[in-house]
């Protein structure tokens, strides 16, 4: 039986949601991740330090008994975010701020219109050492949905990076060869997260044979040439790219209707998905860096001092999970077989 032991990983981009969802989503992540960057697009969104602290307390209350899982909190940027909000966030221990162009994804209607208006806020973030996390898509209706990431790079991201060279920027859930190339060529202060769905799937998996709503996410899946570009950068071991699942739970009945809720709930199988991809790429030796080291290094945080072990054992992802209130959710890759399974985690790591 083949095993793989790596440093305990972190998830640098995910959605817990709130209230009744937390009893499902927090344990799912805490089973194998030591830390996670928590997205702030609740209803209402987390727009100030006091809301971030309160949300963190709700997450911590949902941790399994004895868990040392640490949520890392973010602020939701709006056109009313002030320089004082940034100072207060830093004082409260907030890690980063999230930029959503208005209407870009779930619960983002309150987000930013006119990104240049936030430049004074970016300047304050640069001064206080808060990271800028970006959902990098334009939202103008006349721009094709498959082109929106590339247009965002040219229109907004390049000017932000040029104007604030000391601001650490994470280009989140990248989906295109254009985004991968931009990050590779940018300064050391620009990094990117990559999701399991964008490594495992392309737009054929969303559209061929009928629309598959549980594979629908934003940014939307792209053509296979872009998928291959993402696979190539993670297989290369480039330290600018790191794990961020963008795990995003939605009730089954909300995914399977005209709502078109965007998001793949990958938390329960997240590390196994990445192991699947890295093995397919012949790059299992690069998994630990991507999952456990590069993100912590980019955020300026210590690497975890525990390990986790995966075993080569076929198993099937459940068809659905059920919340305490009876709501059903369909996890990513439901009913499909994976070749790696989490066996053990949070064991003391020997000295490097």
Any idea which residues carry the catalytic annotation?
246
- What is the CA 52 to chain-centroid distance, rounded? 18
Query: If phi over 0 gives left and psi between -120 and 50 gives alpha, with beta otherwise, what is residue 112?
Result: beta
**CA 183, 184, 190: angle at the middle one, nearest 5?**
40
Query: Is 218 annotated as belonging to a binding site?
Result: yes
Q: What is the DSSP string of 199-254?
A: HH--THHHHTTS--GGG--SSPP--HHHHHHHHHHHHHT-TTEEE---B----HHH
For 127, the token pair is: 């001064």
Judged by DSSP in three states, 54 sits in helix
The secondary element (H helix, E strand) that includes residue 83 is helix 83-91
Residue 150 assigned ligand-binding role: no
98 is in an annotated binding site: yes
Report whether 41 belongs to an annotated binding site: yes
Q: Is 142 annotated as a binding residue?
A: no
Query: What crossing angle do the helices spanning 49-61 and 83-91 adopt, rounded to 10°?
Result: 40
CA dist 114 → 74, 78, 95, 142, 165 (Å): 21, 10, 24, 17, 21
φ/ψ of 49, rounded to 5, equals: -65, -40
Which residue ranges are tagged as binding site for Zn(2+)?
13, 15, 98, 135, 173, 246
Which residue ranges are tagged as binding site for substrate?
15-17, 41, 135, 218, 250, 262
């Amino acid at each position: 039986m083949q095993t793989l032991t790596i440093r305990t990983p972190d998830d640098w981009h995910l959605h817990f949601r709130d209230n009744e969802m937390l009893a499902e989503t927090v344990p799912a992540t805490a089973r194998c991740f030591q830390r996670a960057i928590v997205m702030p697009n609740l209803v209402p969104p987390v727009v100030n330090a006091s809301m971030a602290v309160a949300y963190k307390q709700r997450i911590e209350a949902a941790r399994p008994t004895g868990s040392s899982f640490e949520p890392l909190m973010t602020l939701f940027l709006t056109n009313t975010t002030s320089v004082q909000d940034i100072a207060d966030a830093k004082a409260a221990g907030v890690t980063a701020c999230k930029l959503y162009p208005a209407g870009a994804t779930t619960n983002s209607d309150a987000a930013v219109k006119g990104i240049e208006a936030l430049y004074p806020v970016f300047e304050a973030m640069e001064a206080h050492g808060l990271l800028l996390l970006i959902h990098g898509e334009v939202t103008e209706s006349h721009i094709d949905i498959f082109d929106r990431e590339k247009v965002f790079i040219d229109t907004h991201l390049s000017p932000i990076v040029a104007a604030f060279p000391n601001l650490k920027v994470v280009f989140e859930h990248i989906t295109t060869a254009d985004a991968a190339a931009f990050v590779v060529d940018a300064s050391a202060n620009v990094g990117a997260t990559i999701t399991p769905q964008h490594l495992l799937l392309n737009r054929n998996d969303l559209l061929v044979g009928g629309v598959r709503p549980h594979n629908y996410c934003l940014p939307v899946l792209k053509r296979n040439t872009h998928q291959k570009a993402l696979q190539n950068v993670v297989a290369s071991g480039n330290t600018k790219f790191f794990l961020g699942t963008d795990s995003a739970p939605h009730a089954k009945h909300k995914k399977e209707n005209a709502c078109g809720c965007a998001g793949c709930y990958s938390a329960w199988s997240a590390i196994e998905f990445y192991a699947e991809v890295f093995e397919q790429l012949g790059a299992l030796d690069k998994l630990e860096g991507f999952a456990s080291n590069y993100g912590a290094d980019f955020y300026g945080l210590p690497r975890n001092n525990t390990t986790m072990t995966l075993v080569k054992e076929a198993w099937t992802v459940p068809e659905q999970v059920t919340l305490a209130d009876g709501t059903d959710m369909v996890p990513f890759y439901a009913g499909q077989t994976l070749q790696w399974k989490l066996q053990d985690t949070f064991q003391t790591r020997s000295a490097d």
